[in-house]
Every structure is written in C-alpha cells, then in structure tokens.
Structure 1
Amino acid sequence: MLGWLLVFVCVFSWSKGKELITNGGFESWMSQWDCWEMHCDPTNEGHSGQHSVKATGRHHPWESPSQYVAVQPGRRYDVSAYFKLLSDAGKSHTVQFQIQLYYPDGKTGDITAAQMTDVTVSAGWIHVHGSFSRPSDVALTKARVYFQIVDPSVTYLMDDVSINDVGDADAYMRNTSDQEIRRLRTSPIHVRVSTPGHISKSDVVILVTQKKKSFPFGTSVRSPVYTKGRVNKYRDFIHNNFNWAVPEWYLKWRMMEPTRGQIDFQPALDLINGLRAHGLKVRGHNLVWSKAEFIPGWVKQLSGQELRQVVLQHIQDTMNATRGLLEHWDVNNENLPDHGKWYQDRLHDPDYNLELFRIAHRADPSVKLFLNDYSVVNADESTDEYLRQAQRFKAANVGLYGMGVQCHFGDERMPDPHAIKRRLDTLAKAGLPIWATELDVGAADENRRADYYEHALRAVYAHPAVEGILMWGFWDQQHWRGEKGALVRGDDLQLTAAGRRVLDLYNNQWMTDESHVLSQSGDNFTVQGFHGEYEVRVLYQGKELSNLKKTFTLGKGDYTVSINVHT
C-alpha cells in the first residue's frame, strides 16, 4: 500500500468541481467502463436514474467495473459510489473504492480511496465515500478506478460513481488542520482591563506571551552523545526545542545487560537525569522486545520457568532503578503477531504478552504503560490488527494506558494527512490515548523533506486522540536515516529547510505571543491561546508595570485575566 495516498472516510459537505468519471450512473450502459474477467450485466434498478450495473462471475477480490481517470498533481479529490449487495454468504463485508496508479517505470500501486465496513444484503443501498490527494512530486502515467470486495462470491449492484476535483491538496490540508488544531489545542484567554480616567488607553499595551507548551513535542536521544559527546549544541538543541525525550538505545535490555548478571543502568540514568534537570519529561523504551535480533543472546538460550523468572526479574529491577524518573514505558515493543512474538513462541504461551503488562503494572503502578508498533499509521499494513490488539489488552485490564504509533514514513513518499487521519480514526476506536512515538520522514531534498514533515506533523497534531509527538532523532550525524531525516546537519548543527519548517510550527505557529494596544483592542478582548504556561504583562508609555504581571497555566477551559492599571 502507498501510505501517502490512502484516505479517511467521513461525512463531508460535497463541494462540486471537475467530474472525472464518465457515465457514473450507467445510463449509457457500459460506455467508458471495462469489465475484465467477470460479467457486467445491465439492470433496471438504480440508486438514482433508470439503471445500475450488476457485477457477477467474479474470481478475485479486485474484479469489478473499472474506468481510467486523469488525476492531476497537487489536487485533492472527493470520491463517492453506491453499492447494494445481492449476496453476502451469511457474513458482513468491506467494500473498498480503489485507485490503481501506474508509474513510468511500469510499476503500479493500489490505494484505498474510501471504504465501508460491515456491509450485508440487509443494508440495501450503501454510500461509500471519502477522498484522496495526488502529491505534486510523484510522476504517473495514468490511474484506474475499480472496486474491491475480498470475497469474490459476492455479487452486487453499483451506481452513481463520482470522482470530483475539489482543489489544491496542500491548501486543503493546511486549512483543515489549522481548524482542528485551533479547536483541540487552544482555549480562550479573556483579558479584562480597567484604567483610571487620567490614563490614555493608547499608552497601555497588554502583552500575552506563552512561555511553555503543555503539548508534548519530543525526540529520541542518543545517550553517550548527550552525556559525553563533544558537541554541546546537540544538548542545547534538545533543551531549547523539545519538552519530552526518549532514550533511543540505553534502556533496552540488550544494551544494559549483554552478559548475564552484569547489568549497567548508569548510562541510561545519566541521560534521564540530565534531561530531567533541564525540564524535559522522559519515556522509557523498552522493557522487552519480542524480535529475536533485539533480545540479549544469553536470554535466547533460556526457556520455561527459568525464562519467565529472568524476564520478571529484569522488569522489576529496571522499573525499580528508574522509579520516579519516567512517565511512560513501552512494555513489549513491536509485539503484533506478524512483527514479533519470540517470548510467546518460546514459552508456548500466546497470552504471555498480557502477563508482561501485569508484571510491569505491579512493579510500578504510577507509570503509564504502552503498546508500541509500526505500519499502523504510516501504512495500512497492521492498523486493524493493532486496534484488535489494543482492544484485547484493554479488556484484559492489564494496566495498558495508551498506544504508541511509530510513524516512520516511507522514503521519498509524501505523508498523506487524509490517510493518517483515517488510520488514527481506526485506532482511536480502542478508546485509548495515542502517542506518535518515533516520527520521521525520508527525503534527500531538504525542501521536500520540510513539506513531508509539515504534512505528517499537522495531521498527527490535529487528531483528537493524540496526546504527544516524539521524533526519532533530528541530527544527520545521529539519525538512522542520516541526512534524509535530518532537521540539522554538521558539527555546528545548522538548520536545514526541514528544521526551519518544523521549528516554525513548534515555536511560532503553535505558540501564542500577542500584544494589544488598549485603544485598539478595547478594555475587554480575547486571545485564542495554545495550551501551556503564560505570563501577561502591562506596558505603560513603553515601560513595564512589573507589579501587574500575571502568570497562569492555560488548559482546555476558558481563562480570565483581570488587570487594574494604575500608576
């Protein structure tokens, strides 16, 4: 699947633009439509109009009426179609509106533009609708519309197919994300000012300044580089631009105890204490990792009760050593069945991953425990499976707090905000907080990289289930992707175009700093402020009245500041 083009399904107001589909109502029978290796039969039953098409004789999920369309770079498209199942084999089905993309090198990619789940014959006509964007930096030779139902024995009617060009994709992304970010991440600050009659209101300026963010923006940190490295600017960049951090390596079991009985917590503790001393909160990553290549060699020699006891002791010792220092723990990293289940397999116990959470929760009930996995937001590969896993853990009452979504977006692929939202919507059905724990993009061109980061960050920050965002590094010399993922480069940590874009979002667009001249704003005005710590200062004839300074923390509710100006 192509992560940058998958979309979300939602109820939207239909805005008319150029229509790409010809004969979408099948009133001219199959004109402009193809039916490959299946049967398309005419009907006199339509969702609207006189006709629809009946799809029968299917042998594969993708067999359906199809049509070639011309999608333009940088455009967003709304899609819509009506279906009526005529058979369902006694179960529910998912109907998908697909776009197949053809590239100049001969390769193709299939993406889902919309889908409807749990469809049965009894539903009658159903409306499948959504949207997608074609990035401006990807070359295509053509695109084809088709529809997919996994069970090929299902027959159905199809009618009123539409693909509507509704405008510039980037402008749509910015407008919609700005609206959601403002709704979710800001609250009104009501400023009420009184002045005596002898003071001219044109001489009074009220400064409303956010000093700290409440929303967590963080990064992974390399322990020896931070604690012992020669580049002080690495530490300074972390302290100045992030309020959360996660040790990239030095809390992992293989790093702390490569030899049995010789465990060394000190490198991790030095890092954690250094970060906390500068006001950063810290996540723990990770207690165990279910992939064989990341398990200490000596642990892989164990089995049965000895393995259980060693894991129990490791979790207890690690959580005791870090007690009171960490906000979160990733308990069993990348533990989806297709990603890693070494411990369950070794112990012949499919529920051992639940036991790991119980052990961790008993060891320190104050720490928030997380699942953490990949290909759940940057791609569709494991999104539904991750939802089911989270629901299972939640129902088991094992101390699970939230879901970590890694967000390693593909090389030279524009993250699609619509796709990200759709996947986050799916995961949010678990009713658990979501953290983007390992976000990065990959692009050789730094300006394109800046666009990639902005698309990804806006989409994640604008989602109501997301509580925090941590990047997986920022410096080309200490980033797993090197320059392709970097915000800064070189020994002097010079900002790249991507770094400038990200810091503009963090420190300008998503921070509040306003000044109001009383003669212009009036005695009562409102500032829509991002959540965090604030100070309100008063200037009179250019000089601060320091005794009138107010400080407060803005949360999700309104806040009122009352100031009585006197000299």
Structure 2
Amino acid sequence: MALAHDQFAFGVDLIEVEHGLAGWSPVGARTAVSAHVERERDDAAVLLPAVATEGQSERRRPRPSGPYVVAARRAGEEDGMRHALPAGALVPRVTYRVVGWVGVVQVQVQVRVEGGGGGAAGGQQHAAAVRVGLRVDDDDGCGRWIDCGAVSAAGGWAEINGAFRLRTRPLAAAVHVCGAPAGVDVKVMDLQVFATDRKARFRQLKEETDKVRKREVVLKFGGGTGTTMSGASVRVAQLENRFPFGSCINKTAIQNPRFVDFFCDNFDWAVFENELKWYSTEPQRGRLDYRDADELVGFCERHGKPARGHCIFWAVDGDVQQWVKDLGRDDLASAVHGRLNGLLSRYAGRFRHYDVNNEMLHGRFYRDRLGDGVAALMFREAARLDPAARLFVNDYNVLRGNDPNATPEKYVELVDALRRGGAVVGGIGVQGHMDNPAVGEVIRAALDKLATAGAPIWVTELDVSEPDVSLRADDLEVVLREAYAHPAVEGVMLWGFMQGLMWRQDAYLVDADGAINEAGRRFLQLRREWRSDARGTLDVDGHFRFRGYHGTYVAQVTTATGKMLRTFTVDERDSSLELDLDMEI
C-alpha cells in the first residue's frame, strides 16, 4: 500500500549525532573501534553531502572536522564497524540517502628512492575502496546486505553518497562501514541516513529547468501594408524540442511494427545495440559483415533519425572477440588501424556521434597491449577519418556513487589525459544503467563534477531496472528531470523501451503487446511537459509574448480575413528573443 507523503519526516538523520563512540560497535572478531578528532582546517568550503529542504539550498561547511571513529585490526574486507538504526524507522518503498565522509588510515606502500650514494625507503600512499552498506534482518530469519555506496579513499576523507530502498519493513537494520583490505584501518565521520523528498526536489528542478531550457520570446506581427493586427488571435505550437531524446534499436526490434510506431512517434535519435560493435562487423579476422549495421543505418535515414555510432572499440577484455585477443602487438596495432579505416570510411558523415573506446574506466585491453597512447590515437584517427562526427568517451556507474572505479573525478582525469594526447573529446557519455534507487542529489553532484571537464554530457544508455513498475516510473522521472535541468547535459538516449526487445527485462516502458505501462506514461508525460504551447491575442502593438522551450515553432495568427502560419526558432540565449514576423493580410 502506498504511503501518504506526510506520514514521516523527510531529511531527518536516523543516526543520532553523538560524540565519540556512541552507537558504533566493531564488526569482526579482532576489530577494535576508537574515537578521534579531526581538527578544523582553513581549506575552502565544500558542499556538504546532505539533502536540501524545500526552499533552501544545500548547506556548506569547511572540510571534514570534528569527531570520527576508526576501525582497526580488521582481519578481512567484511570487518569494520556498524551503527544500528532505530527500530521501525525504515519505511518500505521510500528512498533513503546515505551520506557522509569515509577514509582509510595510513595506507602506505614502501618504495625505494634512489639518489646520491644509496637508496632510501619512502612511503607512497595507496588508495583502498571503502564501502557503506545496510545489513537488514527480515522476519524470515535471513540477513541481507544492501550496497549503499563506495568510494576510493586514501589517507584523507572522501564523500560517500549512496542510497537504498526496502520492499518490506525489517526487524532490524544497521549501517556498516567496511570494504578495504585486511589490516587497513577504516574511518568514518558524520554519517547520515535520511528519507528523501522526491516531490520537493521536483519542484526545485522545475524552476531550474525553466532557467536552463526556456527563453522569453516576443513575436512582432504586422500586415504587409503596415496596418496593425491588434486583437488577432494567435497560437504558438512547438514542433521540435532542441533537447533530443533517443533510444537503442536493434535488428529484431525494427521488424516489430509496434516498436517502430512508438519509436518514430516519441524519439528523436537512435543508437544501435550491438550491430556496429567490432565483434558484430568482424566476428572472424578478415570476414567483414556490415549487413545488419547497413540495415539499421538505412532505417534511421528513412525515418529521419540521427544515429550515434556505438562503438568503435570496447576496452573491457570480456567484450573483445577472441581473434583480436590472439593477435601479437604489431598485428593488433594493424587491426586497430584497419577497424578505424574500415568503419569510419564506410559511414563517413552518417553518424553524428561515435563512442570511441567504450568503458575505459572499467577496461584497459588496448592500452595494456599497445600502451596508454593508443587511446588518444583512436580519437585522433577517428577525427581525421570523419571530421564531422563528435567523439565521445562512454562509461557506466558514474551517476550512481557506488563504484570506486567510475567516480566523476576519475572520468574527468581520463578526459584530461586524452586531451594531453591530442584527442578532441567532443562529449562525455554517462550510460545510466540504474539498479539502485535513483536519487536526484547524487546524480546532480556527479553531473556537476563532470561538467568541470568542459565537454557536453549525454546520458547515453538509460534504463531503470525495477520490477515494481510504479517505482520504475518514479526512478525514471528522477533521472530524466535531473538530466533535463542540468545545463551541461545535451541529450538522453534510452537503452531500449519495449518488453522482450531490450537488454534488461525489468526496465521496459511498453509491454510486448504494445500497451504503455506506468513508466512509459511517465516518460510521455514529461515529453509533453517539456513542449511549449501558447495561446492568446496580439496586444495593441501587434506583439505576442511567451516563454518557450528551445526548439522550432509554428505560429498561427487568425484574423477576420483568415489564418496565416509562420515558423521560427527559439535558440539558447540568456537575453529575450524578439522576432519580426510580418504577414500579408
């Protein structure tokens, strides 16, 4: 049964703020916990990882200082410390955030420093992954672990920014801090657990969307003879939104009339699921087969849908075909050049984007075998072969706050490294495969950090895997609203939408028989919300004012003598747009 919006307090910390060790206990037979104090520093303020209440901005504070707890003498990765949550505090189907600061203590790797007449031992700090999770005891006697976030931490402090949601009310629940290797001390400060207010966040996002995606427009109408058109009725309808939404397609899907109808009616762009990948176009060395890719390219061009090229290479070992793995260094280098020349020469000018070397935060196949410089070389060669295409990095988990390998900071570092190698990175792709409940503030924090790289961001492979279709709709709306409200995001691509014709079975918006479910209706509702339609009459000067989303429009003016149509474009600027649309009466 759904809960009323006001049945419990939002934003209230479920872990009592206490000094010292109050509430904390060790996990592990050998683990010992102790209390310490971090002295305040003079560093610049950083954003406190806490939710903003309605009408308020996020609080700011100096870098972490004050009491913290250390778990020492840990014998394994599951050892650490725990803090019980109040009995009955967790409500099913509610999204909770877990935020705070974690770190490791004095993780040192000894290295030899050579110089002068001999060598000296020195310490080099090494990072370790720290995890925060929820241990839940259900009435069936089974204990469950729920991942609530992970970061890569060294001697300092790192923000934890995760979330969880329960399907049933637990008998007991406790937050655990663990994850680093045995022997590494783990520390935690100011950990908070609180329920999020999705509706309040949406109200804030609507205001931000109005500023980012809309513009004041003044249409000035006049008759060809200079006569006034005061009092004439006018309707302004948006034909196309400048912000594109697209979907993944595949060879099987485009044979389904229901899929094709929904895709053509509701999406602006396409991306191929597997048909353009190297293992599809060259499954065996020298045996090229572009038939499936050609079919999808033709489908997109017939229906007027721009396409993203996914992907030229794939950096993860498990997604590289065996014959490529079997090549020696020189043959592999030759094959890489052959792939670039073959693919980009064949489709020059037909793909707007390319994901150049997919998932480099999670894989190093080509860099390990050909050197780190090969990643930038792929970008340089792709730019030479198809100068009009925008070249992207593309990776997963960056928006979720639960993967130490895929933090926004590491993604920005990757982009910077590519640029130092001469690559022109035209866009940052964040895949958006969501399993944990989507939390707007977590997504926004990641997007803000990625935006510092100075490249446009696209959500390239969005799907929300959630068996409960109502919660799926809620989570999908969270991601879409956050992306649409962020000024650095330029487009969103869904990784499919129809049951049985997409990668993940609990993420579809349209049932196999063509029926639109609640998640699909939510998507369509947002698309309607983000399209302008204005009506009224011309003022005494023959002017009509409205605030509209960026895109193309048609204006219909109705006078006593008939109707007239004019098209125009609202582009992205801060100042108001004034257009003279003279019409013959």
Report the TM-score range of the alignment, normalised by the length of the smaller protein.
0.7 to 0.9
Instruction: Report if the CA contact (8 A) 1:370-1:404 is conserved.
Output: yes
What SS does the aligned partner of 1:397 have?
Answer: coil
Task: Tell me, yes or no, if the aligned pair for 1:534 and 1:554 is still in contact at 8 Å.
Answer: no
- Aligned equivalent of 2:260, options 226, 231, 235: 235
Of residues 386, 391, 401 in structure 2, which corresponds to 1:369?
391
Q: Distance in 2 between matches of 1:447 and 1:258?
A: 41
Matches of 1:56 and 1:321 in 2, distance apart?
59
| CA RMSD of superposed structures (Å) | 4.4
Q: Secondary structure at the match of 1:495?
A: coil
**Match in the other structure for 1:511:** 531
How far apart are the structure 2 equivalents of 1:164 and 1:258?
A: 49
> Is the Cα contact below 8 Å between 1:224 and 1:267 reproduced in 2?
no
Cα distance in structure 2, aligned partners of 1:103 and 1:488: 36
Please point out which of 516, 521, 538 is paired with 1:495: 516
Partner residue of 2:56?
Answer: none
Whether 2:558 is the aligned partner of 1:539: answer yes
What is the match of residue 417 of structure 1? 440
Cα distance between partner residues in 2 of 1:495 and 1:155: 48
Post-superposition offset of 1:284? 0.6
**Residue 102 of structure 1 pairs with residue 136 of structure 2:** yes
Per the alignment, residue 379 of structure 2 pairs with 357
2:55 corresponding residue in structure 1: none
1:79 and 1:163 in contact (8 A); partners too:
yes
Residues 174-223 of structure 1, C-alpha deviations (whole Å, 9 max, x = no match): 2232223222222222345679999883xx33212110121121111113
Partner Cα distance (2:400, 2:83) in 1: 27
On the 8 A contact 1:74/1:168 being kept in 2, the answer is no
Q: What is the deviation of 1:234?
A: 2.6
1:300 and 2:325 correspond: yes
Q: What is the alpha-carbon distance in structure 2 between the residues aligned to residue 84 and residue 258 of structure 1? A: 45
Equivalent of residue 353 in structure 2, options 318, 324, 328: 328
Q: Do structure 1's residue 439 and structure 2's residue 453 form an aligned pair?
A: no
Are residues 408 and 97 of structure 1, via their aligned partners in 2, closer, same or farther at CA, if it must alter by over 3 Å? closer
Q: How has the CA–CA distance of structure 1 residues 142 and 518 changed in structure 2, closer, same or farther, with 3 Å as cutoff?
A: farther
SS of 2:426's equivalent? strand
Residue 486, structure 1, aligned to residue 508, structure 2: yes
More off after superposition, 39-48 vs 438-447: 39-48
Amino acid across the alignment from 1:471: L
Tell me the residue number matched to 1:5.
none
Counterpart-to-counterpart distance in 2, 1:561 and 1:476: 45
**What's the counterpart of residue 6 of structure 1?**
none
1:58 aligns with 2:77: no
Identity %: 26
Among candidates 338, 355, 380, match of residue 402 of structure 2 = 380
Go from structure 1 to structure 2 and tell me whether the alpha carbon gap of 1:470 and 1:118 turns closer, same or farther (over 3 Å shift): same
3-state SS in 1 of match to 2:535: strand
Matched, 1:527 2:554: no
Q: Distance in 1 between matches of 2:469 and 2:186?
A: 49
Match of 1:428 in 2: 451
1:212 aligns with 2:212: no
Name the counterpart of 1:560.
Answer: 578
User: What SS class does the counterpart of residue 249 from structure 1 fall into?
Assistant: coil
Deviation (angstroms), 1:456: 2.2
Alignment partner of 1:549 out of 566, 569, 573: 566
Q: CA deviation at 1:290?
A: 3.0
- Aligned counterparts of 1:58 and 1:240: Cα–Cα separation in 2: 59
C-alpha distance in 1 between matches for 2:365 and 2:446: 27
Tell me the distance in 2 between the aligned counterparts of 1:440 and 1:40. Answer: 43
- Provide the C-alpha distance between the structure 1 equivalents of 2:197 and 2:135, rounded to a whole number of angstroms: 18
Q: What are structure 2's unaligned runs of at least 5 residues?
A: 1-8, 42-60, 109-122
CA distance in 1: counterparts of 2:162 and 2:400, whole angstroms: 15
Query: Cα deviation per residue 1:16-57 (whole Å; 9 max; x = unaligned)?
Result: 9756454x254xx76656577445469999999xx9757467
SS in 2 for 1:206: strand
Q: For the structure 1 residues 328 and 246, does the alpha-carbon distance in structure 2 shift closer, same or farther, using more than 3 Å as the test? A: same
> 1: distance between equivalents of 2:243 and 2:67?
51
C-alpha deviations, 1:232-276, integer Å up to 9, x for none? 333232222111111222212222223433323343233223313
Aligned with 2:330: secondary structure? helix
Give how far 1:469 is off.
0.9
Matches within 5 A, 1:11-160: 20-22=14-16, 24=17, 26=19, 34=25, 37-38=31-32, 40=34, 53=67, 55=69, 58-59=72-73, 66=83, 68-69=85-86, 70-73=89-92, 100-104=134-138, 105-112=142-149, 135=165, 137=167, 139-144=169-174
Q: 1:462 and 1:378 mapped to 2: Cα distance?
A: 18
Distance 1:450 1:535, change over 3 A: same
1:279 and 2:300 are equivalent in the alignment = no
Pair 1:86–1:210, CA change in 2 (3 A):
same
Q: State the 1:326 CA deviation.
A: 0.9
For residues 386-405 of structure 1, the aligned pairs below 5 Å read 386-405=411-430
How far, CA to CA, are the matches of 1:281 and 1:388 in structure 2? 30
Hey, what does 1:123 align to over in structure 2? none
Q: CA deviation at 1:169?
A: 1.9
Cα-to-partner distance string for 1:293-318 (whole Å, 9 max, x where unaligned): 54344333321222211220221121
Distance in 1, Cα, partners of 2:330 & 2:152 = 46
The answer on whether the counterparts of 1:211 and 1:533 sit within 8 Å (CA) in structure 2 is: yes
2:249 to 188, 199, 221: 221
Cα 1:84–1:473 change in 2 (3 A) is closer
In structure 2, relative to structure 1, the CA distance for the partners of 1:205 and 1:92 (3 Å cut) is: farther
TM-score (norm 1): 0.76
Q: Which amino acid aligns with 2:422?
A: N
Cα displacement (A) at 1:328: 0.9
Report if aligned partners of 1:38, 1:58 keep a CA contact under 8 Å in 2: yes
How many Å separate the matches in 2 of 1:297 and 1:30? 54
Deviation at 1:283, TM superposition (A): 0.8
- Structure 1, unmatched stretches of 5+, are 1-14, 121-125
Distance (Å, rounded) in 1 between the aligned partners of 2:541 and 2:529: 25
CA deviations over 1:412-457 (Å, ceiling 9, x no partner) = x432222222333333333322211111122334333322322222
Alignment of 1:187 onto 2:215: yes
Trace 1:453-492 onto structure 2 (pairs within 5 A): 453-482=476-505, 484-491=506-513
Q: Distance in 2 between matches of 1:514 and 1:471?
A: 29
Q: By how many angstroms is 1:95 displaced?
A: 13
State the partner residue of 1:7: none
Give the CA deviation at 1:109: 2.7
Which is richer in helix?
1
Query: Matched residues in 1 for 2:475 and 2:210: separation?
Result: 21
Measured after TM superposition, the shift of residue 320 of structure 1 is 0.7
Q: Deviations over 1:5-26 (max 9, x none)?
A: xxxxxxxxxx99756454x254
TM-score for both structures, normalised by structure 2: 0.74
> Does the C-alpha gap of structure 1 residues 293 and 556 become closer, same or farther in structure 2, counting only changes over 3 Å?
same
